[in-house]
Amino acid sequence: MGARMHIPRTSRLGLPTYTGERAFLDGPECRVVRAFVVGLILLLHWLPAGRVLAAAPSFTPDDPASAAEFARDLSRLEEQRDWWTLAALMHPDSAAVVPESAVTGWYESEFAGKETAELTVTAVTPEPWTWPVSGRTYMESVTVSYIQPYWIEGVRSDLPGEIHLVHDGERWGWFFGGSQAFLHDQIARYAPGFVPSGIGGLIDPTVLQDPDRIARFPDPMEAELDAWWAGQFAAAGREYAPPHGVVSFDGAIDTACGRVDADVETAFYCVLDHSIYYSASFRAIVEQNIGDFGWAVVIAHEWGHHIQAQLGMDFGLRSSAPGKGSALHWESQADCLAGAYTDVAEFNGWLEPGDVDEALLMTGLSGDAEDAAATAAAHGTGDDRLRAFTRGYEDGLPACDLGL
């Protein structure tokens, strides 16, 4: 899963052959090793502090008084019509994809001709909650149920409601928007041109329906990758050019990087024609033995090499020496970018249960043998690759040191 640089076969910088992994994944011993690796990965995946599916809260569920008081604070801000402070009190995950102007614009419209006062809390329930906008589940959220008074043209109505709060380790936070459609509508009305950032980044579903994108990338996963990277470049004020294609091959074919054989090669990026190539039989092995998102992370890694090339990184200067510019550096960064994409996919609700574990399993199984670590085509051991992937998944694109 690397970038292919020069036509001479000895200098191609993909996974050297993947022959060992192909035989391994196709063989009965895969079941034993998979069981061990899955157990190890699940342990690594769930134990680290700071994130499971979301930020780890610092509150204890048997002491909900502060959550109730935070809900009352929010209603007092509504009474004062202090929309900007309300926006500033969103949970960081909400703030990452919701511009303050969308919040203040909605409040200004919703409360035109309407007044309110402090709410009365009727129940505080610690329970898991999923934000419909992102599909992310917060295992230790608190639901605050309440009655809030409203006056419209002097007529009072006491309306029941509930708000879901999550602690970010420092304070409580609330979430704006009950669906992606609602949020996109508010952004279009009050923050046109806004490009989400932060953890992952919310992708407008309409960008996935672009005819040119569909024609180039009929696979929805590839279209999602392309849409996300286009958004990241736009946010950075940089021009983005997608890969020329993601090409499946059987048997032997000629590419700008030379002739390749599906029985030997697996997946690689060719910088000479800006295309990603993969063996159809290898994809089938991965999807059958690991899963469809196990395959997605392979393509996300290769897409990372395209991004590196587009940003002017010269793979031709790669060496076996450690540090920036080494093979291991570029490959580790591509693993990190694949992890950041996985975070995006999870945030946008594109993943199914178990997909993250498939990504981790594929990444771990793709590591080099110990004696390959110093070669010019090194990707890192399974542990190295898992650390790089997890860095991107946990902390997003900024953790990958891309300079974008």
- In whole angstroms, what is the distance from residue 195 CA to residue 67 CA? 31
CA angle 224, 350, 338 (to 5 degrees): 60
Residue 85 has what pLDDT? 96
The structure tokens listed for 103 are: 């919040």
pLDDT digits (tens, 9 = 90+) for 71-115: 999 999 999 999 999 999 999 888 878 889 999 999 999 999 999
Instruction: Please tell me the distance from the alpha carbon of residue 45 to that of residue 384, in angstroms, as a whole number.
Output: 15
CB atoms within 10 A of CB 317: 11
What was the pLDDT predicted at 66? 92
Reading the block at residue 46, the tokens are 């769930």
- What is the model's pTM? 0.62
Candidates 222, 196, 195; CA nearest to 210 is 222
Q: What's the confidence (pLDDT) of residue 122?
A: 96
Query: What residue type is 266 in one-letter code?
Result: T
Instruction: Provide the CA 351 distance to its chain's centre, in angstroms.
Output: 10
pLDDT for the residue 257: 86
Domains of the chain, residue spans: 2-53+202-400, 65-190
Identify the segments of the chain with pLDDT beneath 70: 1-63, 193, 195-202, 204, 314-326, 367-379
CATH 2.60.120.380 fits 65-190, yes or no: no
> What pLDDT sits at residue 145?
97
Q: How are beta strands 267-270 and 2-4 bridged, if at all? A: parallel
Q: Give residue 26's pLDDT.
A: 44
Q: What is the pLDDT of residue 368?
A: 65
At residue 224, the 3 state secondary structure works out as helix
Burial 249-265 (b: 16+ CB within 10 A, else e): beeeeebebbebebeeb
